[in-house]
């Protein structure tokens, strides 16, 4: 594989014209002005993937409240996706509302979702894209570990907060040092460093924080 083709943080999301369970989709163009989470799964009709899709659907309205769309993807054909979604609705009483892309190996390789040492199926990749179509976060999980949907939702919230207010700490919004407060960028000159302790709550001039604006 050509590693250079993989999207990196800050890159424009690769342009893809794909077929989904809800019809044709062009990425990132059709998401213009919206955040999106594109996540791949190894295969339809598998236990871990089924639990993930139910978990994503259970939080779907929370993602949409953040102006964020969910998009699933695997190299299964679209009729397999449709049948799987029907099975989930009939047997688990959960209606999967978001689209699922029927990808091919070319698309999966373009996104770095095929890891040969982990088999021929796509690994559990997650891409968070912003309203400008830029890649803002990338996660890869092995096939044997299901994703934490709460963390992905937290990441979307944190990215949006960071864009507007500043960096967020570990485990935000429940950091053990500063809670849900926002980190002030470190001073870059001596004059600012001297006044920083008088302006913000600080551990030192290079570690200051401010309240989260609700």
**Catalytic residue positions?**
49
Contacts 24+ apart (CB under 8 A), 208-212: 208/183, 208/184, 209/169, 209/178, 209/181, 209/182, 209/183, 209/184, 210/166, 210/181, 210/182, 210/184, 211/181, 211/182, 212/161, 212/165, 212/173, 212/180, 212/181, 212/182
CA angle (60 as vertex; 58, 63 as ends), nearest 5: 135
The answer for residues whose C-beta is within 8 angstroms of residue 93's C-beta and 6 or more apart is none
């Amino acid at each position: 594989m050509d590693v250079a083709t993989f999207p990196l943080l800050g890159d424009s999301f690769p342009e893809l014209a794909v077929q989904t369970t809800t019809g044709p989709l062009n990425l990132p163009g059709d998401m213009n002005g919206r955040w999106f989470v594109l996540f791949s799964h190894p295969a339809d009709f598998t236990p871990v993937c089924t639990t993930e899709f139910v978990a994503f659907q259970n939080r779907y309205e929370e993602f949409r409240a953040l102006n964020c769309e969910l998009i699933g993807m695997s190299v299964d054909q679209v009729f397999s996706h449709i049948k799987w979604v029907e099975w989930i609705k009939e047997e688990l009483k959960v209606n999967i509302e978001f689209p699922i892309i029927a990808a091919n190996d070319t698309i999966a390789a373009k996104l770095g979702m095929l890891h040969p040492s982990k088999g021929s199926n796509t690994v559990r990749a997650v891409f968070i894209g912003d309203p400008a179509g830029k890649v803002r976060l990338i996660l890869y999980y092995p096939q044997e570990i299901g994703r934490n949907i709460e963390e992905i939702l937290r990441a979307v919230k944190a990215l949006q907060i960071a864009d507007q207010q500043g960096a967020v700490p570990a485990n935000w919004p429940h950091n053990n040092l500063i809670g849900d407060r926002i980190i002030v960028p470190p001073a870059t000159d001596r004059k600012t460093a001297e006044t920083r302790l008088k302006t913000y709550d600080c551990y030192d001039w290079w570690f200051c924080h401010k309240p989260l604006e609700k």
